[in-house]
Amino acid sequence: MRTLLSLTLALTLSLVAARTAAAGDAARFLVAQLAEASDKAQFAWKPDAAQQAAALGLRVRAPLRDGRMRARTTRLDEAVLAHPALRGFAPDRIVLLEAPDSATAAAARTALADGGGVDWIEPLASRALQMTELHGAGARPGALAALDSLPNDPLLRDSRQWGLWNVGGVGGGFYGGVPRADIHVVEAWRVTTGDNALKLAVADTGIDPAQPELAGLMPDGSPRLVDMVSVTFEGADAWADSNGHGTPVAGAMAARTNDGARFASGGVAGVCGGDGALVAGCRIVPIKIAEGHSGESSSFEVSRAMLWAADVGARAMNLSFAGYEGSRLERLCMTYALLRGCVVVVAAGNEGARDNPRRPMYPAAYAADGLGIQVGASTQFDDRATFSSYGPGLDFVAPGVNIWTTFMTYPSAAGAVYDGLVAASGTSFAAPIAAGAVGLLAAARPELIENDFQHVLRESADDVYLPGWDERTAWGRLNVGRALASVGPEYGIWHDEVRADSVVLAGSGTLSIGESGPGTLDRFRGLLAATRWATYATVTLPDSFADTVRVWPRVGGTFAARGDYQLPYFTPGAEVVARNGRTFTLRGWLYRADSDTCATCVDAWVPLPPEYARFGFTVIGRVNRSRPPAPVGDATGGAGAAHVRAWPSPFRGAIALALPGAGSVRVLDVNGRVVREWRASGAETRWDGRDRDGRDAPPALYFVRWRGADGSGPRSPRAS
């Protein structure tokens, strides 16, 4: 007789079975990460937990990653899962549990958490689309003569798409407003209109597969819609829009640009929609998260979408859904996506319409931890839309009122029929405009990673309420033209990590610890008397940066905590606290438990001792890429000898090396490992940025070591 019950899940679930939060009964559902069992079978309970779950009337409704997802995506990235912020996160052991009623679910949550059968368990959180209004087009528009230099999309030229080009009331604009109270995408299009290899995902109610502004073929004849999936219980192939929200959201992000009139009512442009010729802007990944005709979803389906988008290689995923309850699962999947290369762009919510604009909305609030980008809505008058939320984590606002975009070519769930185009309002439509901006940045500078996009877009935003940061609009209104200019080809991008070099006592207080996490966070819980310690690292800039740089900490590579004595969960916390000429200083926080409250602790540091603290960071600044390498001296190593010169540094793609002469060349990483080696026949050579196996070396700091044929050397500059 087996001593362990293994639940194998049937994935052909009946559509008449109990619905999830999309039907409004989220209180009957729980999300749990099963404790690891001795039997490594998928979704296996420990014996006692299996009996307990059965006694409570629970059944496993679905795994987080079901057979469809496993078959259609690559394996989870183990290197990403090893990040401290994801310690213990095991997506293949996470399941959706269903109880007969909400009271049973509440009791089961407590019982399973206390019984040790799960690593963690939480209620299923509801998510709803963030649209306030939608209406169709009138007569076919006429062009404004002053806009003849714009792409030929009629609703852009007649000024209805004010969010992309706002001529204001004086200029005869359709909606009036303030001239250039837009995202300045016309300036951005002079730099890039996207990239045919770029993928942008839309997690929503689906996309109309026949909408010509979104679907169709790429310039090479391949489909523009790729990796389509439904993560609901309808089945993987039921990804087409049956509500009427996802198609307009996708159009705001990436409707084809400069492709003329597609309908009798005209045609629209998307932010990352290409040039109408050789560039289609991006490929679109439709992910349906709302079942049937519903406009509701859950944290479980949203989390599935995040994993899917990241694992199929999308650089951004738009999410125009929000809810009131936080979710551990959602936050972990958002972190995974970010570190895997996919930025989640989230609508801030429409709680201003309910007179509660400061209410935290999820998962948007996790942008406060650098895990994504939260976007509110602005109007053509360059102010915050009254419905737009400004809770924790707001990054900036973007146009979100009367946004002309695509609609389904068939009737909506309510039976409404439009001629392919509609005007819609809500933070639902501000977010995809920002997601399109992320796409343009990724196309122009593919080496941008993680929370780089959040910082670049924040720092380039236009003030619209008060100078600098303010509560209602955060860093201001999106200006993608300025964002592209701030990372132009004259700017170098340097990513690196550094260990803490000093620690200073900085007070004492009561530390509050919530979830388990990396280091000692799996041992401490609740309230703890502790001292707080500031940990610092000072970094010197490479000589190749020509002038003032921008610097920020990265989520990836950072292992330090926040400094407010509140650790509800672990997320990397750091800040830039000083700049002095050619150096900058990063600071994070650690805590040490008071010996009176932690007499049995082997290690009282929280979350880890100072010697293990480290900081990931990004530096962006002008570099002189045209300056030739300095002359090299005598190849024999005499008095006139010079070190190896590397240029440009930082570099992108390949780097030129000027050597004292012929000899062996080695490229090493910061740990001293050999990345690449070869013999140079003369005083000039180059490194193509690849490792020994022909793979692109990751962005980092590298050292070049030269040794002459006569044994002279080594000589090592830094290259980044």
Taking the CA atoms of 20, 335, 375 and 431 in sequence, report the sign of the dihedral they define.
negative
Helix (H), strand (E) at residue 533 = strand 526-540
**Tokens 């690292």, located at residue:** 537
**Closest residue by Cα to residue 304 from 76, 517, 516, 60:** 76
**What is the C-alpha separation between 373 and 315, in angstroms, rounded?**
13
Rounded alpha-carbon distances, angstroms, from residue 507 to 147, 192, 281, 504:
60, 50, 52, 10
3-state secondary structure of 672: coil
CB atoms under 10 Å from CB of 526, counted, come to 8
- Copy the structure tokens of residue 405: 């975009």
With both helix axes pointing from N to C terminus, report the angle between 47-55 and 102-115 in degrees, rounded to the nearest 10: 160
Q: Spot the catalytic one: 83, 184, 245, 643.
A: 245
Q: State the first-to-last Cα distance of the chain, in angstroms, to the nearest integer.
A: 60
**What is the C-alpha separation between 420 and 700, in angstroms, rounded?**
47
Residue 204 known to be catalytic: yes
**What is the C-alpha separation between 350 and 356, in angstroms, rounded?**
9
Q: Spot the catalytic one: 204, 241, 369, 452.
A: 204
Taking the CA atoms of 145, 148, 150 and 153 in sequence, report the sign of the dihedral they define.
positive
Q: Assign 3-state DSSP to the chain and report helix, strand, coil percentages, each to 5.
A: 20, 30, 50
**What is the C-alpha separation between 294 and 279, in angstroms, rounded?**
34
Q: Spot the catalytic one: 428, 460, 712, 720.
A: 428
**What is the C-alpha separation between 255 and 211, in angstroms, rounded?**
10
Q: Is 8 exposed, middle or buried (0-12, 13-18, 19+ CB in 10 A)?
A: exposed
- Copy the structure tokens of residue 191: 């730099």
CB atoms under 10 Å from CB of 686, counted, come to 12
* Pairing verdict, β 396-399 and 373-378: parallel
- The DSSP code for 650 is S
**What is the C-alpha separation between 386 and 354, in angstroms, rounded?**
10
Q: What pairs with residue 32 in β-bridges?
A: 95, 121
Residues comprising the chain, all counted: 720
**What is the C-alpha separation between 493 and 481, in angstroms, rounded?**
19
**Tokens 């309808």, located at residue:** 234
Residues known to be catalytic: 204, 245, 428
